């Protein structure tokens, strides 16, 4: 699974050539994938306990997607069940005045994970080569050097004990239309509908091009990007949980050893 969706460094990514349909990659039954997802979630909860108890390393998980791509739903579904004491979700909205008065990595650096912690980024520093680029918020001379700056920043984190995993939730343009339509059709979902999302949809190709370059330039050995087919939530959740479980198995965190001599202590 990890191999299947990982983008190798120096790939020229073409997102239109990658199916957003989970069924392309999986011939089994949906129910089996759902059962496997639940088992993965349980296993993740146990790994997280060990990760926190070990307290030595850091895990950073980044989610990026177009609107309605499923970032919130993924975080809710994949990370519910994990002890929130060891997980911190950071959601990056439009930067504040204070954040804009600093470099774009300033607000990111403040919330990278501490030892034993898992940080989950709902959007991230990648917005600064995506939305910023598509809508000409800063000139190319400013955003283009960011690919290399981001790589250097992520390398610093990796070199200092952080495992980094980045997920792009890949939905098709038709699937986005369906999700927006659902929000319009169901009065209970009206609050999720933002007219601005339609304006951004008009830039679909530009966003895809921006994602393609960002992922191509910044999928590195120390901070790989995964392109997750996300038209079906069940496949998306399962694939992501499997990649996280695979990662944890490899990292194999352990409860700390202690060299206390229990016979030395008497409880009165």
Tell me if 161 contacts its own copies by CB under 8 A: no
Nearest to 224 by CA among 138, 166, 163: 166
- Binder of its own copies out of 13, 62, 65, 75 (CB under 8 A): 75
* Least distance to its own copies, CB of residue 136, Å: 23
Instruction: Please tell me whether residue 46 binds its own copies under the rule CB under 8 A.
Output: no
Where does this chain touch its own copies (CB under 8 A) — which range of 19-27, 158-166, 209-217, 256-264?
A: 256-264
Q: How far is the CB of 104 from its own copies (least distance, A)?
A: 22
The number of residues that bind its own copies (CB under 8 A) is 40
Q: Is 61 in the site for its own copies (CB under 8 A)?
A: no
Q: Are 133 and 209 in contact (CB under 8 A)?
A: no
Q: Which CA distances in Å does 90 have to 61, 119, 155?
A: 10, 7, 20
Q: Interface with its own copies includes 198 (CB under 8 A)?
A: yes
Least Cα distance to 22 among 32, 12, 13, 30 occurs for 30
Q: How far apart are CA 246 and CA 228, in angstroms?
A: 15
Specify the long-range contacts of residues 11-14, CB closer than 8 Å, at least 24 apart: 11/216, 11/219, 12/216, 13/211, 13/212, 13/215, 13/216, 13/227, 14/212
Is residue 107 a contact point for its own copies (CB under 8 A)? Answer: no
Q: Which C-beta is closer to its own copies: that of 72 or that of 246?
A: 72
Binders of its own copies in range 111-140 (CB under 8 A): 120, 122
Using CB under 8 A as the binding rule, whether residue 80 contacts its own copies is answered as: yes
Is residue 19 close enough to count as binding its own copies by CB under 8 A?
A: no
Cα distances from 82 to residues 71, 73, 86, in angstroms, run 17, 15, 8
Site for its own copies in 170-189 (CB under 8 A): 177, 180-181, 184-185, 188
Q: Is 145 in the site for its own copies (CB under 8 A)?
A: no
Which of 12, 29, 101, 265 contacts its own copies by CB under 8 A? 265
- Residues in the site for its own copies, rule: CB under 8 A? 45, 49, 53, 72, 75-76, 79-85, 87-89, 91, 120, 122, 177, 180-181, 184-185, 188, 190-191, 193, 195, 198, 201, 255-258, 260, 262, 265, 267-268
């Amino acid at each position: 699974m990890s191999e299947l969706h990982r983008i190798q460094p120096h790939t020229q990514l073409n997102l239109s050539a990658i199916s957003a349909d989970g069924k392309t990659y999986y011939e089994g039954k949906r129910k089996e994938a759902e059962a496997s997802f639940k088992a993965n979630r349980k296993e993740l909860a146990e790994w997280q306990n060990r990760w926190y108890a070990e307290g030595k390393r850091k895990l950073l998980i980044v989610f990026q997607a177009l609107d309605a791509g499923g970032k919130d739903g993924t975080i809710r579904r994949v990370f519910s069940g994990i002890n929130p004491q060891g997980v911190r979700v950071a959601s990056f909205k439009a930067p504040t005045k204070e954040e804009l008065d600093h470099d774009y990595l300033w607000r990111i650096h403040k919330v990278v994970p501490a030892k034993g912690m898992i940080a989950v980024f709902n959007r991230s520093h990648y917005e600064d080569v995506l939305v910023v680029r598509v809508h000409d918020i800063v000139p190319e001379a400013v955003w283009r050097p960011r690919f290399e700056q981001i790589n250097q920043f992520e390398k610093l984190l990796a070199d200092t004990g952080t495992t980094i995993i980045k997920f792009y939730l890949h939905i098709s343009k038709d699937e986005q239309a369906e999700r927006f339509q659902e929000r319009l059709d169901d009065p209970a979902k009206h609050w999720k509908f933002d007219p601005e999302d339609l304006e951004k949809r008009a830039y679909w190709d530009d966003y895809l091009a921006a994602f393609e370059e960002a992922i191509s330039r910044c999928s590195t050995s120390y901070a790989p990007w995964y392109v997750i087919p996300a038209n079906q939530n069940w496949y998306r959740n399962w694939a992501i949980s499997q990649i996280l479980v695979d990662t944890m198995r490899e990292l194999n965190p352990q409860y700390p050893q202690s060299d206390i001599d229990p016979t030395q202590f008497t409880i009165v």
